[in-house]
Amino acid sequence: MSPRPFWSPLWAGIALGVALFLTFVLTGHGLGASGFFTRFTAEVGQWLAPELTAANRYLGDYVRGEPLQAWITWEVLGAFIGALVGALSGRRFRPQVERGPSSGVGSRLVLALIGGILTGLGARLARGCTSGLGLSGGAALAVGGFVFLICFFAAGFLFSLIVRRYWQ
Amino acid sequence: MIWPLYDSGVASGLLAGFLFGFVLENAGFGSPRKLTGQFRLEDWSVFKVMFTAVIVAALLLWLSKQFGLMGTGSYYVPTPFYVAMAVGGLLIGAGFAIGGYCPGTSVAGLAGGRIDAIVFMVGMLLGTALFAAWFGPLEDLYLATPGPQGQTLMDLTGIPEWLIILVLAAMAWGGFKLGGKLEQKLGGPYQASDLYPADNKQN
């Protein structure tokens, strides 16, 4: 079965803008994602090293309650379901290691891990990620959101030059 | 002032998330090749979708305030920490270019069946744990240069909100034009048919 085409960027952008606005109406804040991974890290830490996690000055606050009992957990779960429905209905569900034509599975997974580590660090430092700070902060016309977005695109272009050959 | 509803319940999260994930996937943002194409300038979808969404949501928020449906200061505006947010933005930009995802798009990537998205998520957990472990030495950077509480572009420039939105829309329009030109020149953007071979071949 051939895949259904993607939505045009303009319509996808309008749809995302409306969804983001509805989120503000519903909750008083925007969409996010990295907060869930912070809570998940606290949960895993509680499980692997409870004393160390409870004593940690950053993660300690999260494990005083149930770290995963939060709106952002339901939101990320909803995002997973929504994307799954999108992939299945668009005939775009493919179990795979997605990579550039000249890249091997091993190198792709190493780069995914390195990219994930940098992203995890960056999101905690910035107090949010592309959706929580860039998109939602941008929509709220927050200065912080635009500082983030400018640096995000600048570093993206720069580092893309280094890893170009893995994607093309 | 009937909005926001301040509903932090399960249904509210699932609904907002569902719409978010459904749009991301349909835009093609589960695919790391398409996402990173933005930084090779051959696929401008990330810029176009993000900028359009920011402007549409900002416009709807502004209209809600004009019609008295929403009060000023009734919704969350992040307070800037200029240096931390700049460095964090640089790190996430680098992570995106190298790893192919950001936190939200990795969820869309995994939902589409991608193993590499799981590895990226494991990396994010490690990165978060590293941040927590290094919080002592990082704390100064984390708390440095705070700006005014909930500072907006209107606070910074003194320009009214409607005009800020108009300027952003003009910039977006320029980006759409420039992006479209470069996409034509460089053979982009990635179509679904480029990324999903019909024979469902296992990699």
Does position A142 have pLDDT exceeding 90, yes or no? yes
Does position A75 have pLDDT exceeding 90, yes or no? yes
pLDDT at residue B188, rounded to an integer: 83
Cβ separation B86–A151 shorter than 8 A = yes
pLDDT at residue B199, rounded to an integer: 55
What's the whole-number mean pLDDT along residues B28-46?
Answer: 97
Q: How far is B51 from chain A (nearest CA, A)?
A: 7
pLDDT band with cut points at 50, 70 and 90 for residue A91: very high
Higher pLDDT, B80 or A102: B80
Q: How far is A12 from chain B (nearest CA, A)?
A: 6
CA–CA dist B28, A45 (Å, integer) = 33
Chain A CB contacts of B18 under 8 Å are 78-79, 81-82, 85
Does position B200 have pLDDT exceeding 70, yes or no? no
Residues B80/B146, Cβ–Cβ less than 8 Å: yes
What DSSP letter does each residue of chain A carry, written as one string?
A: -PPPPPPPHHHHHHHHHHHHHHHHHHHSS---SHHHHHHHHHHHHHHH-HHHHHH-TTTTTGGGS-TT-SHHHHHHHHHHHHHHHHHHHTT----B----TT--HHHHHHHHHHHHHHHHHHHHHHTS-IIIIIIHHHHTTBHHHHHHHHHHHHHHHHHHHHHHHHH-
Chain A CB contacts of B10 under 8 Å are 74
- Model confidence over A29-49: pLDDT tens digits? 999 999 999 999 999 999 999
pLDDT band with cut points at 50, 70 and 90 for residue B202: very low
What's the whole-number mean pLDDT along residues B22-37?
Answer: 98
- Model confidence over B89-131: pLDDT tens digits? 999 999 999 999 999 999 999 999 999 999 999 999 999 999 9
pLDDT band with cut points at 50, 70 and 90 for residue B1: confident
List CB contacts of A49: < 8 A, sequence separation 6 or more.
Answer: none
CA–CA dist B53, A13 (Å, integer) = 5
Cβ separation B88–A73 shorter than 8 A = no
The overall average pLDDT reported for chain B is 96
pLDDT band with cut points at 50, 70 and 90 for residue B203: very low
pLDDT band with cut points at 50, 70 and 90 for residue B197: confident
The overall average pLDDT reported for chain A is 97
What's the whole-number mean pLDDT along residues B53-78?
Answer: 97
Distance of CA A8 to the CA centre of its chain: 22
